[in-house]
Amino acid sequence: MINNQSKHGNIFFRSIAKLIDLLIIAALWKIFHEGGFFIGIFYLLISDGLFKGCSIGKKFLRLKVINTDRQSKADFRDSIVRNLPLALSVFFLLIPIIGWIICVALFAFEFTLIVGDPDAKRLGDYMAKTSVIEE
């Protein structure tokens, strides 16, 4: 279990790391247009398996994802399962206005889960049996 002060710091840094990853997705979408949207989704799905448990955002902020069952760094399978709820949320961006509202609502739901959970886990962490820790 993470102490309260460490939990809130972890949530802050996780949020910044995810923001960095979302900016990468937006850049891919802008650069490669429609194809970039799907490249961005692909990046989101595999991102936590890229650098031995770290996405680019997590790498900058010295965070990593571990599989709590194996007690090892997350691999591509863990990353895909863990990020599936967020990837599905991003697909709603293809629907004008209402899709954007749904996407934001789903991201807010995931964030609320992190804040309310004693171990600062979101739905994807429970699905993949993962946890985010400081390196």
Tell me: pLDDT of 24 over 60. yes
pLDDT at 11: 87
What pLDDT, on the 0 to 100 scale, is given for residue 2? Answer: 42
Q: Rounded to whole angstroms, how far apart are CA atoms 91 and 84?
A: 11
Both tokens assigned to 5: 């002060």
Angle 49-52-56 (CA atoms, 0-180°, nearest 5)? 65
Regarding pTM above 0.75, the answer is yes
What dihedral do alpha carbons 27, 32, 37, 43 form, nearest 10°? Answer: -70
Among 126, 35, 37, which residue's Cα sits nearest to residue 87?
37
pLDDT digits (tens, 9 = 90+) for 67-124: 999 999 999 999 999 999 999 999 998 899 999 999 999 999 999 999 999 888 999 9
pLDDT at 28: 93
